[in-house]
Amino acid sequence: MAVYWVGDVQGCDAPLGRLLGALDFSPSRDTLYVLGDLVNRGPASEQVLRRLMALGDAAQCLLGNHDLHLLAVAAGAGRLKPMDTLDGILQAADRPALLDWLRHQRMAIWGNDVLSVHAGVLPSWSVTKTLSLASEVESILRGPDMNEFLHQMYGNEPAVWRDDLTGVGRLRVIVNALTRLRFCSVTGEMEFASKEGADAAPAGFMPWFDVPGRQTANITVAFGHWSTLGLLQREDVWALDNGCVWGGCLSAMRLSGDGQHELIQVKCEQAQKPG
């Protein structure tokens, strides 16, 4: 039995297939945590979803910002962007099944002593709080109010978490932290304009994982989302979005039974231009 965490696939089904082959992945034996952004920008988003669906419970998948964008577009709450490659899903005969499976995926997962999220965790959130807040969004996405929420999901405000937040504002902060976060301040204010690496933090901000006193600093957080960050392997964080869709690698972290971990990567055969 082995456990793997995989960075952003973004519709790159061929590299995903080659990575699973390199891992000798068996759904009857192994577990795969996929860190969100399953779809978009790559050439075969519908095939990625079908492949992951076929793995059953062996694939534990997170929702990233691109996955939520797909759900919003399908619900008429968002518009396709010039670089989107979502038509294969939107026009598929099995579109209802693909979208229904997607909206039942997770916003945060605790498993094998690792907290998995797509983007980040606010400094004041513990593991327990992160999972509880994630479940609030998961419940909305799986229920009858999903479309109404998706029409109100977009926006950068509120930029700071408060326990007394309610309604759409509360859900939006949770979504933005878990699927869009890169930089924040020591007080937890989120900044969304900057998409460069950690050394390009705007004045007054820093990478979320370097905020002093972060409540999740005593455990490992695995995340994707930040391709310009590059590979990061620390005791407290694994950054696994290595820009597969931009011509980089699709990366997996393997955790063995003795607690050791190793990185396995496959090169992506096509390269899109970031945008």
The pTM is what? 0.96
Supply φ then ψ for residue 24, to 5 degrees.
55, 45
Q: 163: which residues sit within 8 A by CB, 6+ positions away?
A: none
Q: Give pLDDT tens digits for 219-248.
A: 999 999 999 998 899 999 999 999 999 999
Q: Which CATH architecture has domain 3-267?
A: 4-Layer Sandwich (3.60)
CA 68, 70, 71 angle in degrees (round to 5)? 65
Contact between residue 35 and residue 62 where contact means Cβ atoms under 8 Å apart? yes
Contact between residue 105 and residue 67 where contact means Cβ atoms under 8 Å apart? yes
Domain ranges for the chain, please list them. Answer: 3-267
Which single residue is written with the structure tokens 């983007």? Answer: 119
pLDDT, mean of residues 152-163: 97
Q: Give pLDDT tens digits for 42-67.
A: 999 999 999 999 999 999 999 999 99
Q: Which amino acid is at 6?
A: V
Contact between residue 198 and residue 192 where contact means Cβ atoms under 8 Å apart? no
Rg (CA), the chain: 17
